[in-house]
Amino acid sequence: MAHIQDYKQIMIISSDDNKNVESSNQLEAKETDFDKTFECSIRPKTFSDYIGQTELKETLSISIESAKKREQSIDHMLFYGPPGLGKTTLAGVIANEMGVNIKITSAPALERPRDIIGILMSLKAGEILFIDEIHRLNKVAEEILYPAMEDFFIDMMTGKSQATKNLRIPVPKFTLIGATTKAGSLSGPLRDRFGIIHRLEFYTIKELMDVLSRTSKLLDIKIDKDGLNAIARRSRGTPRIANRLIKRVRDYALVRYNSDINGQIANEALDLLKIDNVGLNPTDRNLLKLIIEKYDGGPVGIETIAAALCEDVKTIEDVCEPYLLQAGLILRTPRGRKVSPEGYRLLGITPPIMQGNLFE
Ligand code: ADP
C-alpha cells in the first residue's frame, strides 16, 4: 500500500464528474491556489507534528497500533468541532500513520447516488474515505453508506419495472472518517455506525504558539516569543486562524518596518486588522453589541441575529458562535442567545443584575 509522503498525493473527489484529481479544488472553494499550496506545505503529516489534542492523539495511536497488529482496517471515525481545528489534517495524519491512501470529499459533492457508489467502488482495501461536512449527506447517500460501513457491500437495483433486480456488490474493507461542525445534526443511525467518535477542542495559547512556531520555521518567518504570543492570543483557539494571521503580520512587519516580527509589531498589525486582544473580530463584537443594545442582552433567536448582521445563520452558528460560547461571552438558552456578564464587560458595559435562571 502506498505511503503518503505529501498531501498532494491525497485524492480529492469532485462532485461533477466523480473523477479522482490530484489537487485540492473542492473542499476549500474560496481559497486561492497560493492558499492551497500554503496549506499543503504546513499541514502536519505525523502525530509528532500534530500539535495539541493530546488525549485524542493517544487514543488514536492505540487504535492505529492495534489495527496494524491485527492487519485490519481501523474502525470508522467521526471528528466534530468548529472549523479550522484540524479535523481534515488529522484524517491525513491517520492515513499517513497507517500507511494507506486517503480519498477526500465532502457531503455536498455526493448529491447523486452514483457519486457515493462511484467513490465506494473505487476504494481499495484498507484505504480511508474522508467525508467533510458529513451532516449534510442526503438520505439516499446515507442509506447507501449504511451497509457499506457495516458489512462492506452496496445494495443496487438494476433493470426497470418487473425486471428489477437487487444486486449486492461487495466493497473492500475501508475506513470512513467523517468530519462535522454539527454532530447534533447527524442522523442517529449514521452516528451509531462510527466506532470512534471524538470532539476536537480549541487550542491553548501555548499550543497555538507551538503551531505558529512550526509554521514560521516552515515559511522562514522570523518571529520572537512575544510575537508568537501576541498572535496566539488573538487566534481564538484555532490553528487555521493562527496560520492566517501570521501571514498578515509578516506582511505588515515587512512593509512598515522591514523587520522580523516582535510583540509590538504583531499587536499593531492585528489592531489594524481590527482583531481585538481576545481574538474577536468586528462581526463578533457587533453580535454582542446587537444583543445588548437591541434585545436587552437577550435571549434572541439566531435567525434574528443573522438577519440583523446581514450574515447567514450558518456563519453565525459555525464560525462566530462556538468561540463566543467557549469564551463564555454568550450563553445558549432554549429561547435564544444571551450575552453573559463577561460579554458585557468585554465591551466596557456594566452588566445588568441577571435575574432568574440564566438558562431559561
Ligand atoms: P478542519 O478540517 O477542522 O476545518 P484543518 O484540518 O483543515 O481543519 O486545519 C486547518 C489548518 O490548521 C491546517 O492547514 C493545518 O495546517 C493547521 N492545523 C490544524 N490542526 C493542527 C495541529 N494540531 N497542529 C498543527 N497545525 C494544525
Half-sphere exposure of 83 (CA within 13 A, CB side): 13
Question: What pLDDT shows up at residue 354?
Answer: 60
Alpha carbon of 290 to ligand 1 centroid (Å): 31
| Residue owning the nearest CA to atom 19 of ligand 1 | 86
Quote the cell numbers at residue 324. Answer: 463566543
Nearest to 196 by CA among 54, 50, 12, 64: 64
In CATH terms, the fold of domain 2-199 is Rossmann fold (3.40.50)
Q: For ligand 1, atom 16, which residue shows the shortest CA distance? A: 43
pLDDT of residue 165: 81
Domain with CATH 1.10.10.10 in the chain: 282-351
84 C-beta closer than 6 A to ligand 1: yes
The CATH number given to 205-272 is: 1.10.8.60
- The set of cell numbers assigned to 240 is 487555521
Q: What is the mean pLDDT of each run of 10 residues along the chain (360 residues)?
A: 38 46 33 56 93 96 95 95 96 96 96 94 96 96 95 85 83 97 92 96 97 97 98 97 97 97 98 95 96 96 95 91 95 95 95 61
According to CATH, the topology of domain 282-351 is Arc Repressor Mutant, subunit A (1.10.10)
Segments of the chain assigned to CATH 1.10.8.60: 205-272
Q: Are 338 and 358 in contact (CB under 8 A)?
A: yes
pLDDT of residue 188: 93
Residue 43 CB–ligand 1 contact under 6 Å = yes
Identified catalytic residue from 89, 105, 180, 181: 181
Stretch(es) of the chain classified as CATH 3.40.50.300: 2-199
In this structure, which residue's CA is closest to atom 5 in ligand 1?
86
